[in-house]
Structure 1
Amino acid sequence: MLSKELVAKSVEELAPLIKNKEISPVELTKAVIEQAEATQDKINSYMAIYKEEAMEEARKAEEEISNGIYRGMYHGIPMAVKDNIYMKDKVTTMSSKIHKDFVSDYDATVITKMKEAGIIFTGKLSMHEYAWGITNNNPHYGAVRNPWNLDKIPGGSSGGSGAAVAADATVATLGTDTAGSIRIPSSANGIVGLKQTFGRVSKYGVYPLAWTLDHVGPMTKTVKDAAGLLQVIAGFDSNDPTTVDVPVDNYLEQISGDVKGLVIGVNEEYFFNRVDSGIEKLVRAGIQKLVEQGAKVKEVKIPTLQYAEWAELVTSLSEASTIHHSDMLKRPEDFGNDIRMLFELGELPSAVDYLQAQQVRRQLKQDFQKAFEEVDILVAPTLPVLPNDIGDDFADLNGEKVDLIDNIIRFMGPLNLTGLPALSVPCGIDQGLPVGMQFIGPAFKEGRILNAGYAFEQTNPMQGKRPSLLETV
């Protein structure tokens, strides 16, 4: 099989080929690393490529599989991870200057679980500095570029992760999400991204941005790939007191593609307010495709959403600035200008502001809970605007120039505040750029949104379109 064909495949396609020894992890890993190297000067998605070690791990995986030891869907799959996830004896930079030489002496829990699943690590992926931004225009390591249009941002903070999956430079990856950092780049790069329920996946060994908002989750080519990767990383961890000890479902088994009778909630006032018309058209058409498969639509009210942006901002600013407080005092000039300003801003909210934000958060959770008594899932656009040009602070919303950050995190933050699971699935192309549709579910009901996302994915919303970069590499 040609390496171009090989790297374009999803995990759900590759796994049976590896299991049946039709392709070897060595051949696949070599092809993925070659693709990573071939695309690096164009999209700049990797911070480091672990060529020798990856090939060594691939040989080990091949040997195990040929001896009849097959560990499951992700055994022998090569992938890179976001550079804020610790790997023992490896540099983890957070794409920052301050941590450029930081080496962890232990593996993050998600890395330990991935190693047990037989995953091969090809390297670390670029991110917005300290995960505190949505453009991935990094002052220390250069901008990451969107494979669909190299002038555009890939979204952030997991921009390297989104771009690498879209460019076939990794088969799948993990990102982190504090105010949309998995879902934003997933939407912008035309891939699947899952922010699972808060407490479902351990954050031990993942450098924090804001303790009570951070999530670690899959970024993949298909919904089934995301379900399989969540299966690998989910579960209680005594090292992370925020994990919740509830049984891990078999996510792949919950994906039947049957949405007959599923009640889809639509919240017009917030999640369809001020959305670029091309995006709105695609998302509403996507909902219609589910209705054609037997789903029903019901409008729901979530009144506290009007205060969600404020509460998310106060919470994230306060927590992030606490984490970086001493470095801000000692070496402020070593931060990029954009995030230094945010850390300065984060010193301003008072304890009263922070605690009021937590009251809004509590009320918001209750509002969502009430909505889920009437509907099974909610569906919304992932982003209200398309990715803009690198270096531009404004996005285009129906011909009007609007603040990029405010708009791009509008539909993200409420799900970090509530900790509810949210899945972004590609729903089509507008002006040559991918658009994402967001599936939101009740706590710990990842299987439900994955199944709805899969049912939608089966309608072929992308119609086989691939990033323009892939035609030249």
Structure 2
Amino acid sequence: MSTEPALMTLTAVAKAIADKHLSSHEVTRSCLHRIAQWQPHLNAFMAIESEPALKAATGADAELAKGNIKGPLHGVPLAHKDMYYDAGHVSTCGSLIRRDFVATTTSTALQRLKDAGAVRLGTLQMAEFAYGPTGHNAHYGPVQNPWKLGHVTGGSSSGSGSAVAARLTFAALGSDTGGSIRMPAHFCGVTGLKVTWGRVSRAGAMPLSQSLDTVGPLAQTAEDCALLLGLMAGPDPEDPTASAAPVQDYVAATSASIKGLKVGVPKSFYVDDLDADVARALDQTIALLKTEGADIVQVELPDQRQLSSACQLVLAVEAAAFHKRWMIERPQDYGPQVLMRLQNALAIPGVTYLEALRWRGAALAAHIAATANVDAVIAPVAPIVAPSIAESDVGGAPGAEAVIQRLTRFTRPINYLGLPSLAIPAGFTSSGLPVGMQLIGRSFDEATLLTIGGAFQRATDFHARVPALP
């Protein structure tokens, strides 16, 4: 067991508190100590709630002493992306428009974690209205990558990726509409789970794109993500799109063998135009999975470029629809890049949007047919590692738009199809930047992805490495 509680995994620290080897108060104090050290360098937190967190931790310890344990997260301090409404608390959504917005309801996902005993540490930075893939924010500044300051974290769950990597929180909720959980996981060297569309309720989470948004966790390990998914998944009367599909024992799945599982390697697209470090990590990941007992086969996927374009179109139109009133009444309160993207979407014809929606069923059927003989598909999260903040700044770098297009190339198709994907740390470059791989699965089969992720993490230590304080 680590002498610094904040360095433990979510699963380990929850058990330590439940077994009374550690108190919630000392665990919370350990997190707050690291936050004080790292926050000036990272800008990962939107709000740090030290005194309320310590008071809640003390209360959790008192309840545990009386034999009252709320659930599997009893006394565990967590912070989440600042787009999950929590009644009585400000939720800025990374924007000026909602800088003073006080929620009157609590998001279902957040409430289920609170019901399991979690303690609130504060809120985490994010791209403005979750509409940006890098971690830039025109209002509150960029979030820094703890592995190499001056480099992006990935977005829009920028604070979540950075804070989990630096061990400021044991896990954090993110959201994934076009890759916003998986990209921060890749760039920051943590594990991130994009769930099947409808697997976790979105009630009380700020919407971006109603037919693409998903709620999911970032954490150190597949096991940690499994624990959180099991607590959050399931139907919700507040969200009619939340599925009633059975909730599996996801934690148990992470300890299962992968012997005999078939993992598909795409013949094109996801293996094209990769940076050398990413290509090497992909080859090494495939080799390790084979050593662990998986059968590796090649798969020919349908044209992923069409899926990516369709995702961009749907996302743009649905985001513009949500923001229409504010674009008319408060355009000056948007960052220039976000406003430009929203305004451009107003020019997309309704017929084009509807065609993109209607094509989704056929596209999913084609994907299912192409992957019928495999349990999961392995692919990089992005073809490159974290670029610098300067070179990905649309307002300041002439080639920034091209950089950003490369970042999201491998994530958007999965959102369009509504499929689950688990991002896992899979290596580091010679300069110390993380590299992540994603496992793409069948609808509502997160368990198989977590099985493969768990096996990979038992055989590697990439997920356990911790960045050094600058």
Residue 32 of structure 2 corresponds to 33
CA–CA separation in structure 1 for the residues paired with 2:14 and 2:466: 22
**Could you tell me how far 1:118 is from its partner in structure 2?**
0.1
Does the alignment pair 1:20 with 2:9? no
Q: Quote the residue 1:305 is aligned against.
A: 304
Correspondence for 1:137? 136
CA deviation string 1:259-300 (max 9, x = no partner): 111100111212112211210111121111011111111111
SS of equivalent residue, structure 1 residue 271: coil
Q: How many matched pairs?
A: 465
Question: 2 CA distance for matches of 1:369 and 1:300?
Answer: 11
Counterpart amino acid of residue 109 in structure 2: V
Amino acid at match of 1:413: R
> What is the identity, as a one-letter code, of the residue corresponding to 2:220?
K
Query: CA, structure 1 residues 369+36, in 2 after alignment: closer, same or farther (shift >3 Å)?
Result: same
* Alignment partner, residue 460 of structure 1: 460
Q: Is 1:171 aligned with 2:170?
A: yes
Deviation at 1:177, TM superposition (A): 0.7
2: CA distance between counterparts of 1:254 and 1:458?
13
Query: Which residue of structure 2 lines up, in the alignment, with residue 206 of structure 1?
Result: 205
Report what 1:414 is aligned to. Answer: 413
| 1:436 corresponds to 2:436 | yes
Q: Give yes or no for contact 2:90–2:99 (8 Å, CA) kept in 1.
A: yes
1:63 Cα deviation from its structure 2 partner: 1.7
CA deviation digits over 1:379-422, x for unaligned, max 9? 10111111111132389xxxx99812211111111111111110
Q: Determine the C-alpha separation between the residues in 2 that align with 1:462 and 1:419.
A: 28
TM-score when normalising by structure 2: 0.96
TM-score, length of structure 1 as denominator length = 0.95
Counterparts of 1:280-429 in structure 2 under 5 Å?
A: 280-393=279-392, 403-429=402-428
Find the aligned partners of 2:211 and 2:462 in 1 and give their Cα distance.
35
Task: State the alpha-carbon separation in 2 of the partners of residues 401 and 257 from structure 1.
Answer: 43
**How much has 1:97 moved relative to structure 2?**
0.6
> Are the aligned partners of 2:135 and 2:157 in contact in 1 as well (CA < 8 Å)?
yes
3-state DSSP class of the match of 2:251? coil
- Other structure's SS at 1:374 match: coil
Question: What's the counterpart of residue 450 of structure 2?
Answer: 450
CA contact (8 A) 1:304 1:364 kept: no
Structure 1 residue 2, shift from structure 2 partner: 7.9
State the Cα deviation string for residues 406-452 of structure 1 (Å, max 9, x = none): 11111111111111110000001013100001011101111100010
CA distance in 2, matches of 1:198, 1:268: 26
Residue 37 of structure 1: CA displacement? 2.1
For 1:300 and 1:283, the matched residues in 2 are separated by 15
Distance change in 2, residues 1:464/1:57 (3 Å): closer
Task: Write out per-residue CA displacement over residues 95-149 of structure 1, whole angstroms, 9 at most, x where no aligned residue.
Answer: 1011100011111111211111000010000000000001221111111100001
Amino acid in the other structure paired with 1:263: K
**CA shift for structure 1 position 67:** 2.0
SS in 2 for 1:384: coil
Q: Distance in 1 between matches of 2:241 and 2:226?
A: 22
Structure 1 residues 438, 463: CA separation in 2 closer, same or farther (over 3 Å shift)? closer
In 2, Cα distance between equivalents of 1:23 and 1:6: 8
Match of 2:250, SS state, is coil
1 CA distance for matches of 2:258 and 2:2? 37
How far is 1:84 from its partner? 0.6
User: Which runs of 5 or more residues in structure 1 are unaligned?
Assistant: none
1:176-204 Cα deviation digits (max 9, x unpaired) = 11000011001111000001111110000
Task: Specify whether residues 461 and 271 from structure 1 end up closer, same or farther in structure 2 by C-alpha distance, changes over 3 A only.
Answer: farther
Structure 1 equivalent of residue 277 of structure 2? 278
Say which SS state the counterpart of residue 360 (structure 2) adopts: helix
**What's the secondary structure of 1:186's corresponding residue?**
helix
Residue 460 of structure 2 aligns to a residue whose secondary structure is: coil
In structure 2, what is the equivalent of residue 252 of structure 1?
Answer: 251
Further displaced range: 270-279 or 377-386: 270-279
Secondary structure at the counterpart of residue 371 of structure 2: helix
Asked whether the 8 Å contact 2:235–2:243 carries over to 1, the reply is yes
Contact 1:58/1:76 (CA < 8 Å) preserved in 2?
yes
- Could you list the runs of 5+ residues in structure 2 that have no partner in the other structure? none
The whole-number CA distance in structure 1 between the counterparts of 2:185 and 2:392 is: 20
Aligned residue for 1:149, secondary structure, equals coil
**What amino acid maps onto 2:450 in structure 1?**
L
Give the CA RMSD over aligned residues. 1.7
Deviates more, 1:31-40 or 1:337-346: 31-40
Matched residue SS, 1:138: coil
Q: Do the aligned partners of 1:304 and 1:360 also contact (CA within 8 Å) in 2?
A: no
CA distance in 2, matches of 1:463, 1:145: 19
Cα distance between partner residues in 2 of 1:19 and 1:287? 37
Percent identical among aligned pairs is: 37
SS in 1 for 2:443: coil
Match status 1:189 vs 2:188: yes
Q: Distance in 2 between matches of 1:321 and 1:463?
A: 37
One-letter code aligned to 1:437: M
State the secondary structure of the residue aligned to 2:282.
helix
- Please tell me whether the aligned partners of residues 304 and 367 of structure 1 are also in contact (alpha carbons under 8 angstroms): no
| Secondary structure, counterpart of 2:235 in structure 1 | coil
Aligned positions of 1:39-188 closer than 5 A:
39-188=38-187
Give the drift of 1:364: 2.0
CA distance in 1, matches of 2:438, 2:29: 34
**For residue 81 of structure 1, what is the amino acid of its counterpart?**
H
